[in-house]
Structure 1
């Protein structure tokens, strides 16, 4: 399958994601057909190996100094860190290994480093927000003045968008009040290469084949305990026929293997002028959000596309009021 898109003038590429399901697989070593339960079990063993390393690596670097280093984008020598989280962690020398007696290849470690790196990078905003709140902590934390809120916003990067609803006792540090987050049970195959996983389109339209190495036991002791498994995928209709497929993220949900399948496809370039369709949205008190589309015709007429849409929280609010009355 070609990994390059043919982009013409006036076009550009866009990457999106769609959900698919792995319903079966074939063990290429034994030619055994794996039902969904066995496939989910073997994927689950891999998830357990990865999430265990993710938890250990995240906990080891769950502190302000390491998060600041990773978020700075530079290593100790002043070189720019790679954009891929697993490569950035390796540049910094942050490594992790499987449990003693368990054998995994380097790509399994990559997935763990990628997931841990993304988690640590995302913690930077919470750390800066907490530092800004601490720097401008008021005398009466239950009732901030306008000036005190302005001081908080000035102390937080991007704090001009901070709403005025932070009030509580002063924490010591975000990394002391928050323990290291739990590792999500998933496989970021995007951090791998062909030695661990590969995906290509099938012979039939709307079909693809995902090949990946999975363990044959929960505690693989050698590389012989890993085999290649071929999993056919039925592509969602939202994926164009000419889109380039990327390695998905796998998750276990209710005993089934779900795949968040990323793909890149060709779309028209966005123009500053010349649009004939517009979307309008409005916030309201009775209706939280209302939206509708309109089209501008060549003769200057504007017509509505469909009946529009709205979000109403009546059902949720009714349940909230009912629970409040019952508790009273």
Structure 2
């Protein structure tokens, strides 16, 4: 209450378009990764049933943030292990000498946990904002995301299981739904079965290798379709988002609203609909040469060469004369002095920069390199300057 007025902090609300469950023609597919957090791109469902890609897609890389997150996680694990060790040594004795150190450790653990929470929140908002911006730029009305329940780490080792559990995927999807609702864009989860295994253009099982220039080295990053009539190849994550978006467009009639969470989901994959979830290759026009190359006019000289340098400086310390310094007379002292690039000179009273005026081109006490027309021997300067 201020005077006779009551000031209340109310939540700001505004109407937004309602997201549709079906009837989508442009969709964005999102694939999750370990090192590359998100890979996304847009597909279009045409009137004749064909699905084509809108561009090559993009990737949200957060290697630096994830590396910091892993460092904080390892630091937190070490602090917890040390605190447990102190607790065992103290044995429940409140007057033990390690009780003070244990309190300090617990405060540090709390601070590290807060840093990790803030870092995860910032990363989740940034990734969600990037994904929604991709959908807005492509004119998409739906975003298809892999079902997070199918991404449980099983049998992958303790290290990888911890990395997967520490990801902020759940927070990203929640914030993605919040930001997409402002623009009427639906966020639908789809099954992730075989999204990285099959070719997005012919559904043939892919052959994975280390890199495109190492097709015989076993790996998982690069995928090559072995079908002779297709021969698609690309990054594994780039092929996965194509499969996710194509599956969502063909299964959009199967979209339901989960009664527990209220979110839109596609629960299962229908084989008949999956058979039509292929992306049609877009062919570029014929770029073969049909005639002589059109002659291009010669490139004009740069503008800086059109106006010649002045014949003499406008003042005693004016512009550098055109060309090299004259060699038909004795060069000024500034051209002969051998000083390093870090030379610091002592200011003098009434100093005049005669070097530039006489043709050396630089100040007396500023020489980054010797002149072109003379090689200066490597001798120590006796001028008394600091180098």
Name the structure where strand makes up a greater proportion of residues: 1
Q: TM over 0.5: same fold? A: no
The alignment's TM-score, normalised by the length of structure 1, stands at 0.26
TM-score when normalising by structure 2: 0.23
Q: Which has the higher contact order (CA 8 A, sep 6+)?
A: 1
Q: Which has the larger radius of gyration?
A: 2
